[in-house]
Amino acid sequence: MKKTFLVVAFALIGSAAMAQSGSGFGIKAGLSYNKNGDLVNTVTDAVDDPEGKAGYHFGFWGKLDFPKIYLRPELVYSKTKSSYDINGNSQDYDVSKLDMPVLLGYKLIGPLHIFAGPAFQYTLKNDLEGLTVEDVENDFTVGLNAGIGVNLGRLGLDVRYERGFSKNEAEFIDANVANVEGRIDSRPSQVIFAASLKL
């Protein structure tokens, strides 16, 4: 009985993994927990480490499948948010961007796989609540994605860490307040939880 149960369990895991294996494409969405870089008030010389907040993303992916590895480019719209304490007031910093991770994955066992690769990002909009924010230093930046995932039928679940290779600062100013002026790092570090569906 125990042997029969094990055979059936391995058969189910194997068939679930095969359902999302193979080359193809699909959609994805998920949540992130992210923190942007430090905010520096150049008038008061104050440096504020951000409080992380939840963000989200959605987009498309494609996959070229090989026996033990795969290549998976993605195109994703992402929104991140961090909170800063500026002169005793909590203010949110929102960043909207297009992400294009190009991931190289390795199939470990059954439905389990690991992946890593560069993440190309284009900043669409950045907004610091109540303040005028200039454009970021570089609209286009590069970072790194690395994570682990599992395929369950046509559904895939993964968790990954993302970090930029360099700072990408934007200047801010409040014309109504004399002691609020400085720069903020718009490139986040984040943990991303995602679900994908093969079409």
* CATH number of the domain encompassing residue 10: 2.40.160.20
CA distance 190 to 199: 27
112 against 173, higher pLDDT: 112
| pLDDT tens, residue by residue, 34-72 | 877 677 776 666 666 777 788 999 999 999 999 899 999
Q: In this structure, is the dihedral angle defined by the CA atoms of residues 78, 30, 193 and 14, taken in order, positive or negative?
A: negative
* Res 83: pLDDT: 83
- Domain of residue 56 covers 2-198
162: nearest Cα among 140, 178, 146, 179:
146
Tell me how many domains the chain contains: 1
* Res 182: pLDDT: 72
- Provide the phi-psi class of 100: left if phi over 0, else alpha when psi is between -120 and 50, else beta: beta
H/E stretch holding 126 reads strand 112-128
